[in-house]
Amino acid sequence: MLSGLAVSGPDKRIEAFDFTFSKGALRETEILDSTTSPPGRYVLEVARRIATAAPSAQLIAVANPLLPLGSRQLIDWLKTGLTGPAVISGHDNFPLCYVLPRRCVDELARFLTVLSTADADIDARLLAGILGEDVIQTKFPGLSIAPYPVSTSTGWFQGTERQKVLKILATHATHLVETNPAWRTLPFAVYHPYHAGSIVFFSVASRFVSTPLFQRHIVCSSYQDIVAAAGGTLVPEWLDQPWLPRDNSIGEPQYFAKALERLGPATTDNMFISFMRYSRISGFGPFHMVDQDRFSLGESITAPDQTWALQQRRTLKICQQPPAPLKVLFHINGGVPIKSYPDKQAKIVFQALRSFGVEISVIGRSDLASVGARPVTADKTDLLLQAVQDHHIFVGLDSFPHHFVRNVLGWPTIGLFGATTAANFGGGWDAHYRSLDAAMPCHPCNGDHQCPVFKRQECANYVPAEQVVAAVLAMASTVYGFRA
């Protein structure tokens, strides 16, 4: 739930607004669901929507997006106290609602993205700093939010540690506003340093933002080649730190603390930073990650036709080699069995395609040479690029090679989806792209290590071999005129 109030005219007339996280229709009362957006981005978006709908509003009250709050509740709380900027909180200091003057939306919009939404004192001080006027703080003695749940019915996953990150960045922003006279001109950076596939999406997204709020991108220096190839518009702020291991041995907040230390004051004292690692459950909305990242970066996206996923503006390139022999490059190893395309099926795919004269290569799987799949090394971006250019079609999992090959290189690609969904991580559907999954009701489970339904190591949602074979041959026919 995302709600707010507009206060207009001398009689302080109140209009109520209730929005929901969109499931795809993007109706007038719906806001795009973005996993990379911090709660502050939603404060801004709700305020924007209200300002548009109520052009004469002088004050705009926005409920904390982290909370299941409707406008009716806000009216009950605020009907007598809407006089100026304010932060309303529970007695545990958890913010319930922000009352913002209109210029917060018009001139100071980007500062709302760094509100902690978890500490009313910090946020009130930040707002006072950017507004240059007193901000009233009101606490409701009978209401306490803590402990905030780790995940919520509206799709947030937060936890105390993650909210500490938001508090640190809001405090950092307050410090900049209070100590740096040139704070209004400082750039805004997004903290989204890893992983490779996410960097591809983020970089692509930055090219399709008409009203950017951010100028810099804090990103691991090991991804320099990806950032360069993806042609993002944000200036990279290189973080010399290995990317976060995927085995949960280091928590995201701990990594963040080290990252701030590694960036050092010379960097952090000269920019505002917004946390844009995943804050919401990524499969909650049907929107592609590029659209979710575009929203995070400032694009409102108020209609389905505005989504990147529904627009045809992708790079399309094809292999320049003759169509026969057809060469297909596979990436089927997701690191853990649940993320990998099952070997048994893969072997049948390879044998079947070879019977049509197709030459098969597979990334990082020398053990499949026995079924005629030529092993290829592609652990560096330039090696992947070289390997792709030698093949007509790429077939890959929901993983970096897939995202890079499709979204950056624009190569004919088939995506295999198991525990995650193509709607979020696919490649934009046209004659050069197809995603395959078995449409099971458990999909997406986002399982990491084993199937939560059958408790097996393999994902049952991967399609059987025949569908992969048919998809490869169909694409080869459409794109290259190959006849099996």
Partner 1 sequence: MAVRVLAFFDSRYQTSTELQALTGEADPWRGLREGRPLSRQHPPLNTPTSLGYYDLSNADTAARVVGLARYVGIDGFVIDCSWSGDHYVTGSAPVLPFCDHSFTLAYRWRNDQDPFWQAPAAAENRSRRAAALIAALSTGPATDLRGRRLVILASPDALHAPTATLALLREEAQKAGWPGIYFAGTSADGTARFLDNGFDAALDPGPADWQPCPPENQPAGFEFLEAMAGLRDSVDFFDRFYSYGSSVVLRMMNRGNRGKVFPCVFPAYHDWLIHQDGGATNLIGTNTQLFIQFLENAITFSRERFGPDESVVFLQSWNGWNEGSQIEPSLLDGDLIFNATRNAIDRARYTERSHSAAAPIDQDLAQRSTLLCDALRVL
Distance CA 88, CA 140 (A): 8
- Angle, vertex CA 456, rays to CA 452 and CA 460, nearest 5: 80
Between 217 and 288, whose beta carbon lies closer to partner 1? 288
Least distance CB 348 / partner 1 (angstroms): 5
Instruction: Please identify, using beta-carbon distances, which residue of 187 and 410 lies nearer to partner 1.
Output: 410
Pair 50, 60: CB distance under 8 Å: yes
- Asked whether the bond before 181 is cis by omega within 30 degrees of 0, the reply is no
CA distance 222 to 204: 18
92: exposed, middle or buried (C-beta count within 10 Å: 0-12, 13-18, 19+)?
Answer: middle
The C-alpha atoms of residue 51 and residue 105 are separated, in whole angstroms, by 7
Among residues 324 and 348, whose Cβ is nearest to partner 1?
348
The residue (of 75 and 423) whose beta carbon lies closer to partner 1 is 423
| Rounded Cα–Cα distance for residues 287 and 304 (Å) | 10
Residue of 382, 408, 32 whose CA lies nearest to 232: 408
CB of 68 to partner 1, least distance (A): 14
Closest contact distance (angstroms) between CB of 413 and partner 1 is 11
Q: Which is nearer to partner 1, 388 or 465 (CB)?
A: 465
Q: By CB under 8 A, name the binding residues for partner 1.
A: 22-25, 285-288, 304, 307, 309-310, 312, 348-349, 351-352, 355, 422-423, 428-431, 433-435, 438-444, 453, 460, 464-467, 469-471, 473-474, 477-478, 484
| Strand positions, DSSP E, 307-386 | 327-331, 359-363, 373-376
**What's the rounded Cα separation, in Å, for the pair 207 and 78?**
40
CA distance 295 to 416: 26
Q: Least distance in Å: CB of 248 to partner 1?
A: 23
Using the minimum distance from each CB to partner 1, give the nearer residue, 71 or 421: 421
Indicate the pairing of strand 216-220 with strand 235-239: parallel
The least distance separating partner 1 from the CB of residue 435, rounded to whole angstroms, comes to 8
Query: 257 or 316: whose CB is closer to partner 1?
Result: 316
The alpha helices in 390-451, defined as continuous H runs, are 400-404, 422-425
| Minimum distance from residue 281 beta carbon to partner 1 (Å) | 10
Q: At closest approach, how far in Å is the CB of 65 from partner 1?
A: 18
Select 7 or 451, whichever has its Cβ closest to partner 1: 451
Closest approach of partner 1 to the CB of residue 360, in Å: 14
Instruction: Report the distance separating Cα 419 and Cα 444, nearest Å.
Output: 5
Distance of CA 406 to the CA centre of its chain: 18
Q: Which two tokens stand for residue 355?
A: 């019977």
